[in-house]
Structure 1
């Protein structure tokens, strides 16, 4: 397994559409967390984007997960960062 960090940059012009889709997005994240695929997630306090940490087999699995996120077809974000991450301290 590998850890990946994803930073989303929200399309501020699409805020209303993002708010409509957000319940489905958060439900999807809850399912990923329960399945052990999502380590941490949350929006930035200024609501310009979000940071997510995934524990997946590889980048292909992560991209599949992102493609299935309700935010993706709603086109409410830009992928600012997608990088494999090596934690310095263990994640509990």
Structure 2
């Protein structure tokens, strides 16, 4: 199954909303971690965004999955970049 690196970009304007919806967002992430579709995630230290690493059947499945993220639903992500990633070394390499 393909692995995708998802880069969320945030702005200062979305801080209050992200603070409000963070518990729901993290519960959503936890559900996907338990299901095996989320491999890792976390915010950038400077607060500018986050990196999420997913393993899904294809890009369409990932698009549908991301649409259910509370941050996306509440329009708290300013930009989403998705790249299929092929790890050759390390924890995610096959």
TM-score normalised to structure 2 length: 0.92
Residues 26-70 of structure 1: per-residue CA shift (max 9 Å, x gap): 000000000000001000001110001000000011001100000
Q: Choose 73-82 or 12-21, whichever is displaced more.
A: 73-82
User: Segments of 4+ in structure 1 off by > 6 A?
Assistant: none
- Figure out how many residues of one structure are paired with residues of the other and give that number: 92
Greater share of residues in strand: 1
Q: CA RMSD in A?
A: 1.3
Q: Give unmatched runs, 5+ long, in structure 1.
A: none
Matched with 1:60 is: 60
TM-score (norm 1): 0.94
1:4-83 aligned at under 5 Å gives the runs: 4-83=4-83
